[in-house]
Amino acid sequence: MPQLSQKGQDMPQSPIRKLVPYAEAAEARGIQIHQLNIGQPDIKTPKHALDAVKNADIEVLSYSHSAGFLSYREKLAAYYGKQGIEITANDIIVSTGGSEALLFAMGTITDLGDEIIIPEPFYANYNGFATASGVTVKPVISSFESGFALPPISEFEKQITPKTKAIVICNPGNPTGYLYSKEELDQLSELVKKHDLFLIADEVYREFAYDGLQHNSVLNQREIDQHTIMIDSVSKRFSMCGARIGCLVSRNKAFMATAMKFAQARLSPPTLAQIASEAALDTPQSYFDEVISEYVDRRDTLVAGLEAIPGVRVAKPKGAFYCIAELPVKNSDDFAQWLLESFEHNKKTVMVAPAAGFYSTPGEGLNQVRIAYVLKKEDLIEAVALLKEALSLYKD
């Protein structure tokens, strides 16, 4: 057989999806699984977004502009304006999910062997996008004790080399739920200015900020306009993960012109999904108010339930819909597999994401799991009870 690429062999498996075969086997045995492992919200997609596609009078399902429909980008710019972010349609390239925006960003700013610095734990697919781009991730550990606040700037500086191109942050964070403060963004701004680096901010969870806290966009750090790249997506905002629409936003014209060449190479983002995404922008604030209050309720239920289990600690999330929990186990990979292979209570079990896959430093996060609170409150309560029962039986 012809040889496959080293890059392909180096591509990490998704820590979120690698347990799927064990889950399928459990389901085949008739076990019901509460899926706390993936960020697929159960919230309904706004009806008017789906109706826009149903009602679209289309004779030819054509490509769109490579940057996305102008009408959509203009409406997006207006949406950002309402969020207090001044942006024009020309600062936006619509992508096939936030995922493609991340790939475009890395392709545009890095060469083979370059490095990016990311506070860990981080969204595991950053590893995959970095590997695909031939880029090395240099992690800076953020601590469980601080709730995963920004690590000291001196720790970032220790990782900076002539090959460093960018710092990547996720705000609010997946998997941490941490929401960066304005002061933390100011510190990062100073750092990227001093070392002339890009700052990529993944803000796909922007609306999901709790406890009256305000989300601060990197695009409002106006003194670093030439450094900032923002990644966005409709997936979580409108519960439209299957639309596969995101965008890349930057005021750096040279960056955008180069990113456009990547966008042109893949021709265009999906046409029907752009129609849905454009309509989704008409979603009233009341939708978000309801969704946020639902997530806050779920978060509080989950955190209180987990903290009541002996030996379990939780870093309370301030945003997004994930939390990192420390469990009284040596290896959460083994525990997560055991939950699916060997545990059941009344024919039910839970699926969690082992957190080691969200770190790139070997040995970090071994006793942690990421839990997504994307299930209804009753299911979360049952899932926590199952976890408690499982932990009382599990032997390392």
Ligand X SMILES: Cc1ncc(COP(=O)(O)O)c(C=O)c1O
CB of 230 to ligand X, least distance (A): 12
Closer by beta carbon to ligand X, 205 or else 343: 205
Work out whether 360 is an interface residue with ligand X (CB under 6 A).
Answer: no
Least distance between ligand X and beta carbon 260 (Å): 19
> In the set 37, 45, 64, 99, which binds ligand X (CB under 6 A)?
99
d(CA 262, CA 122): 25
SS (H, E, C) the chain: CCCCCHHHHHCCCCCCCCCHHHHHHHHHCCCEEEECCCCCCCCCCCHHHHHHHHCCCCCCCCCCCCCCCHHHHHHHHHHHHHCCCCCCHHHEEEECHHHHHHHHHHHHHCCCCCEEEEEECCCCHHHHHHHHCCCEEEEEECCCCCCCCCCCHHHHHHHCCCCEEEEEEECCCCCCCCCCCHHHHHHHHHHHHHHCCEEEEECCCCCCECCCCCCCCHHHCHHHCCCEEEEEECCCCCCCHHHCCEEEECCCHHHHHHHHHHHHHCCCCCHHHHHHHHHHCCCCHHHHHHHHHHHHHHHHHHHHHHHCCCCCEECCCCECCEEEEECCCCCHHHHHHHHHHCCCECCEEEECEEHHHHCCCCCCCCCEEEEECCCCHHHHHHHHHHHHHHHHHCCC
Site string for ligand X, 111-140 (x = CB under 6 A): ------------x-----------------
Figure out which of the listed residues 50, 132, 241, 292 binds ligand X, where binding follows CB under 6 A.
241
User: Please, what is the minimum distance in Å from the beta carbon of residue 125 to ligand X?
Assistant: 7
Q: Which is nearer to ligand X, 16 or 390 (CB)?
A: 16
Please, which residue, 35 or 331, has the CB nearer to ligand X?
Answer: 35
Q: Residues 136, 142, 174, 252: which binds ligand X (CB under 6 A)? A: 174
Q: Is 76 in the site for ligand X (CB under 6 A)?
A: no
Q: How far is the CB of 291 from ligand X (least distance, A)?
A: 16
Nearer to ligand X, 335 or 358 (CB): 358
Q: Nearest distance from residue 246's CB to ligand X, in Å?
A: 4
Pairing of strands 313-314, 322-326: antiparallel
319 binds ligand X (CB under 6 A): no
Q: Taking Cα atoms as reference points, which of 12, 34, 28 lies closest to residue 339?
A: 34
Which backbone phi and psi does 213 adopt, to 5 degrees? -80, 150
Stretch that binds ligand X, among 17-25, 96-104, 181-189, 366-374 (CB under 6 A): 96-104
Shorter beta-carbon distance to ligand X: residue 39 or 319: 39
- The CB-of-266 to ligand X minimum distance in angstroms stands at 14
CB of 95 or CB of 164, closer to ligand X? 95
Question: What mask of x and - would describe binding to ligand X in positions 24 to 43, judged by CB under 6 A?
Answer: ---------------x----
Residue closer to ligand X (CB basis): 38 or 141: 38
Q: How far is the CB of 379 from ligand X (least distance, A)?
A: 20
Which value, to the nearest 10 degrees, does the dihedral of the CA atoms of residues 305, 308, 314, 319 take?
30
Identify which of residues 132 and 241 has a Cβ nearer to ligand X in the complex.
241
Does residue 170 belong to the site contacting ligand X (CB under 6 A)?
yes
Q: Report the residue closest to ligand X, judged by CB.
A: 97
Using rule CB under 6 A, residue 228 touches ligand X: no
202 near ligand X, judged by CB under 6 A: yes
Where do contacts with ligand X occur on this chain (CB under 6 A)? 39, 97-99, 123, 170, 174, 202, 204, 233, 235, 241, 246
